[in-house]
Structure 1
Amino acid sequence: MKILKFGGKSLANGKGIHTVVDIIHDKVKNGEKITVVLSARGNSTDELEEILEKASKNENYKDQLNAFKNYQIEDFENTNFDSEFNTLDKLFEGVSLLGDYSKRIKDQVLSQGEVISAKLVTQLLQKKNIKANFTDARELIKTDEQFGEAQPLNDLSKKNVITHFQKYNGSTVNVVTGFIASNTKKETTTLGRNGSNYTASLLANYLEAEELQSYTHVNGIYTANPDLVPGAKKIEQLSFNEANELAYFGANILHAKTIIPLIEKNIPLRILNTFDRDSEGTVITSEVREKGIKSLSVLENVALINLQGRGLLGKVGVDARIFRALAHKNINVSFISQGSSERGIGFVVNADKSKEAKDVLEQEFEADFQKHDVSAISIEDEVSVVSIVGQDLSTFHKPYNALIKNQITPLLFNNTVNGKNVSLVVRKAQLHRALNVIHGEIFEISKKVNLAIFGHGLVGGTLIDQMLQSAKQIEKRKNIVLNIFTVANSKKVVFDKDGIDTDWKAKIDKEGKSYTIEDIIKFADEHHLENLIAIDNTASVDFTKNYIPLVTHGFDLVSSNKVANTLSFDFYKELRAKLDKNQKQYLYETNVGAGLPLIDTIKLLHLSGENITRIKGIFSGSLSYLFNTFSSEERQFSEVLQEAIDKGFTEPDPREDLCGNDVARKLLILARELDLSNEFEDVSIQNLIPEYLRTGETSSFLKRLPELNEVYQKVKEEQKPGCVLRYIGDLWGDLSQQKGNLDVKLVSVPKSSALGQVKGSDSIFEIYTESYGDQPIVIQGAGAGAAVTARGVFGDILRLADRE
Structure 2
Amino acid sequence: MKILKFGGKSLANGKGIETTIQIIKEKAIRQERIAVVLSARGNATDELLEMLEKAARKETYREELTAFKAYQSQIATSADCLEEFTTLENLLQGVSLLGDYSEKIKDQIMSLGEIIAAKLVTNLLQKEGVNAHFTDTRSLIITDNVFGNARPLDLISRKNIINHFKSYNGTTVNIVTGFIGSNQNNETTTLGRNGSNYTAALLANFLDAEELQNYTHVDGIFTANPDLVADAKKIEALSFNEANELANFGAHILHAKTIVPLIEKNIPLRILNTFNSSDGGTIITQKTTAKGIKSISVLDNVVLVNLEGRGLLGRVGVDARIFKTLSENDINVSIISQGSSERGIGLVINASEASKAIVSLEREFENDFYTKDVNKISIIDDVAVISIVGQDLSEFHKPYNALIKNQIVPILFNNTVSGKNVSLVVKKSQLHKAVNVIHGQIFGVSKKINIAVFGKGLVGGTLLDQIVKSKIAILDKNNIKLNVFAIADSQHVYLNKNGTADNWQDTFSKEKVAYTVQQIIDYSKIHHLENLIAVDTTASKKFIHDYIPLVKNGFDLVSANKVANTIEYSFYQELRLELKKHQKNYLYETNVGAGLPLIDTIRLLHKSGESIKKIRGVFSGSLSYLFNTFSVEDIPFSTVLKQAEEKGFTEPDAREDLSGNDVARKLLILARELDLKHELSDISIQNLLPAHLQTISLQQFKENISDLDETFKHIKANQQENNVLRYVGDLDTETKILEVKLISVSSNSALGQIKGSDSIFEIYTEAYKEQPLVIQGAGAGAAVTARGVFGDILRLTEKL
Q: TM-score, normalised by structure 1?
A: 0.98
Supply the distance in 2 between the matched residues of 1:443 and 1:510 (Cα, whole angstroms): 38
Aligned to 1:115: 115
Aligned to 1:7: 7
1:233-244 matches, cutoff 5 A: 233-244=233-244
Aligned to 1:704: 704
Supply the distance in 2 between the matched residues of 1:529 and 1:391 (Cα, whole angstroms): 24
- Asked if 1:368 corresponds to 2:368, the answer is yes
Instruction: State whether residues 212 and 268 of structure 1, in contact with CA within 8 Å, keep that contact through their aligned partners in structure 2.
Output: yes
| Aligned AA (2:11) | L
1:394-405 matches, cutoff 5 A: 394-405=394-405
Supply the distance in 1 between the matched residues of 2:282 and 2:246 (Cα, whole angstroms): 13
| Secondary structure, aligned partner of 2:749 | coil
Aligned to 2:335: 335
- Asked if 1:22 corresponds to 2:22, the answer is yes
Aligned to 2:752: 756
Structure 1 stretch displaced more, 312-321 or 575-584: 312-321
1:433-582 matches, cutoff 5 A: 433-582=433-582
Aligned to 1:792: 788
How high is the sequence identity, in percent, across the aligned residues? 65
Supply the distance in 2 between the matched residues of 1:466 and 1:121 (Cα, whole angstroms): 59
| Secondary structure, aligned partner of 1:379 | strand
Q: CA deviation at 1:491?
A: 1.4
Aligned to 1:782: 778
Supply the distance in 2 between the matched residues of 1:517 and 1:44 (Cα, whole angstroms): 46
| Aligned AA (1:22) | Q
Q: CA deviation at 1:592?
A: 0.8
Supply the distance in 2 between the matched residues of 1:711 and 1:198 (Cα, whole angstroms): 93
Instruction: State whether residues 658 and 687 of structure 1, in contact with CA within 8 Å, keep that contact through their aligned partners in structure 2.
Output: yes
Supply the distance in 1 between the matched residues of 2:31 and 2:79 (Cα, whole angstroms): 28
Structure 1 stretch displaced more, 138-147 or 764-773: 764-773
Instruction: State whether residues 534 and 558 of structure 1, in contact with CA within 8 Å, keep that contact through their aligned partners in structure 2.
Output: yes
Instruction: State whether residues 727 and 742 of structure 2, in contact with CA within 8 Å, keep that contact through their aligned partners in structure 1.
Output: yes
1:641-790 matches, cutoff 5 A: 641-734=641-734, 740-790=736-786
Q: CA deviation at 1:733?
A: 4.0
| Aligned AA (2:256) | A
Aligned to 2:206: 206
Q: CA deviation at 1:77?
A: 4.2
Q: CA deviation at 1:68?
A: 2.0
| Secondary structure, aligned partner of 1:10 | helix
| Secondary structure, aligned partner of 1:689 | coil
Q: CA deviation at 1:750?
A: 1.3
- Asked if 1:100 corresponds to 2:100, the answer is yes
Aligned to 1:44: 44
Supply the distance in 1 between the matched residues of 2:28 and 2:308 (Cα, whole angstroms): 61
Aligned to 1:801: 797
Supply the distance in 2 between the matched residues of 1:469 and 1:126 (Cα, whole angstroms): 61
Supply the distance in 1 between the matched residues of 2:172 and 2:142 (Cα, whole angstroms): 23
Q: 1:313 to 1:133 in 2, by over 3 A?
A: closer
- Asked if 1:157 corresponds to 2:157, the answer is yes
Supply the distance in 2 between the matched residues of 1:65 and 1:617 (Cα, whole angstroms): 84
- Asked if 1:614 corresponds to 2:614, the answer is yes
Which runs of structure 1 show a deviation greater than 3 angstroms over 4 or more consecutive aligned residues?
Answer: 74-80
Q: Deviations over 1:85-111 (max 9, x none)?
A: 111111111111111111111111111
Q: CA deviation at 1:382?
A: 1.6
Q: CA deviation at 1:771?
A: 2.4
Aligned to 1:125: 125
Supply the distance in 2 between the matched residues of 1:662 and 1:732 (Cα, whole angstroms): 19
| Secondary structure, aligned partner of 1:638 | helix
Instruction: State whether residues 3 and 213 of structure 2, in contact with CA within 8 Å, keep that contact through their aligned partners in structure 1.
Output: yes
| Aligned AA (1:803) | K
Supply the distance in 2 between the matched residues of 1:64 and 1:494 (Cα, whole angstroms): 44
Aligned to 2:388: 388
Instruction: State whether residues 648 and 782 of structure 2, in contact with CA within 8 Å, keep that contact through their aligned partners in structure 1.
Output: no
Q: CA deviation at 1:75?
A: 4.2
User: When the two structures are aligned, how many residues end up with a matched partner?
Assistant: 800
Structure 1 stretch displaced more, 274-283 or 66-75: 66-75
Structure 1 stretch displaced more, 574-583 or 637-646: 637-646
Supply the distance in 2 between the matched residues of 1:157 and 1:301 (Cα, whole angstroms): 32
Supply the distance in 2 between the matched residues of 1:230 and 1:747 (Cα, whole angstroms): 60
Q: Deviations over 1:523-575 (max 9, x none)?
A: 11111111111111111111111111111011111111111111111111111
| Aligned AA (1:624) | S
Aligned to 2:65: 65
Q: Deviations over 1:380-421 (max 9, x none)?
A: 012111111111111111111111111111111111111111
Structure 1 stretch displaced more, 305-314 or 754-763: 305-314
Q: CA deviation at 1:76?
A: 4.2
| Aligned AA (2:759) | S
Aligned to 2:34: 34
Supply the distance in 1 between the matched residues of 2:17 and 2:466 (Cα, whole angstroms): 49
Aligned to 2:358: 358
Structure 1 stretch displaced more, 233-242 or 56-65: 56-65
Instruction: State whether residues 148 and 191 of structure 2, in contact with CA within 8 Å, keep that contact through their aligned partners in structure 1.
Output: yes
| Secondary structure, aligned partner of 1:306 | strand
Supply the distance in 2 between the matched residues of 1:719 and 1:584 (Cα, whole angstroms): 50
| Secondary structure, aligned partner of 1:613 | strand
- Asked if 1:279 corresponds to 2:275, the answer is no
Aligned to 1:84: 84
Q: CA deviation at 1:340?
A: 4.3
Aligned to 2:592: 592
Structure 2 gap ranges (5+) = none
Supply the distance in 1 between the matched residues of 2:555 and 2:491 (Cα, whole angstroms): 21
Instruction: State whether residues 313 and 342 of structure 1, in contact with CA within 8 Å, keep that contact through their aligned partners in structure 2.
Output: no
Aligned to 2:252: 252
Supply the distance in 2 between the matched residues of 1:357 and 1:652 (Cα, whole angstroms): 68
Instruction: State whether residues 293 and 442 of structure 2, in contact with CA within 8 Å, keep that contact through their aligned partners in structure 1.
Output: no
Q: CA deviation at 1:341?
A: 3.2
Supply the distance in 2 between the matched residues of 1:645 and 1:551 (Cα, whole angstroms): 35
Supply the distance in 1 between the matched residues of 2:640 and 2:647 (Cα, whole angstroms): 11
Supply the distance in 2 between the matched residues of 1:655 and 1:470 (Cα, whole angstroms): 35
| Secondary structure, aligned partner of 2:719 | coil
Supply the distance in 2 between the matched residues of 1:313 and 1:767 (Cα, whole angstroms): 60
| Secondary structure, aligned partner of 1:425 | strand
Structure 1 stretch displaced more, 591-600 or 356-365: 356-365
Supply the distance in 1 between the matched residues of 2:680 and 2:83 (Cα, whole angstroms): 86
Supply the distance in 2 between the matched residues of 1:395 and 1:76 (Cα, whole angstroms): 55
| Aligned AA (2:788) | G
Q: TM-score, normalised by structure 2?
A: 0.98
| Secondary structure, aligned partner of 2:260 | helix
| Aligned AA (1:131) | N
Q: CA deviation at 1:70?
A: 2.2
| Secondary structure, aligned partner of 1:502 | coil
Instruction: State whether residues 198 and 258 of structure 2, in contact with CA within 8 Å, keep that contact through their aligned partners in structure 1.
Output: yes
| Secondary structure, aligned partner of 2:221 | coil
Supply the distance in 1 between the matched residues of 2:353 and 2:751 (Cα, whole angstroms): 76
Structure 1 stretch displaced more, 443-452 or 584-593: 443-452
| Aligned AA (1:370) | Y
Q: CA deviation at 1:339?
A: 1.3
Q: CA deviation at 1:293?
A: 4.0
Supply the distance in 2 between the matched residues of 1:121 and 1:685 (Cα, whole angstroms): 89
Aligned to 1:169: 169
Supply the distance in 2 between the matched residues of 1:76 and 1:450 (Cα, whole angstroms): 51
| Secondary structure, aligned partner of 1:541 | coil
| Secondary structure, aligned partner of 2:334 | coil
| Aligned AA (1:763) | S
Q: CA deviation at 1:342?
A: 6.5
Instruction: State whether residues 313 and 341 of structure 1, in contact with CA within 8 Å, keep that contact through their aligned partners in structure 2.
Output: no
Instruction: State whether residues 334 and 349 of structure 1, in contact with CA within 8 Å, keep that contact through their aligned partners in structure 2.
Output: yes
Supply the distance in 2 between the matched residues of 1:612 and 1:346 (Cα, whole angstroms): 53
Q: Deviations over 1:482-505 (max 9, x none)?
A: 111111111111111111111211
Q: CA deviation at 1:236?
A: 0.8
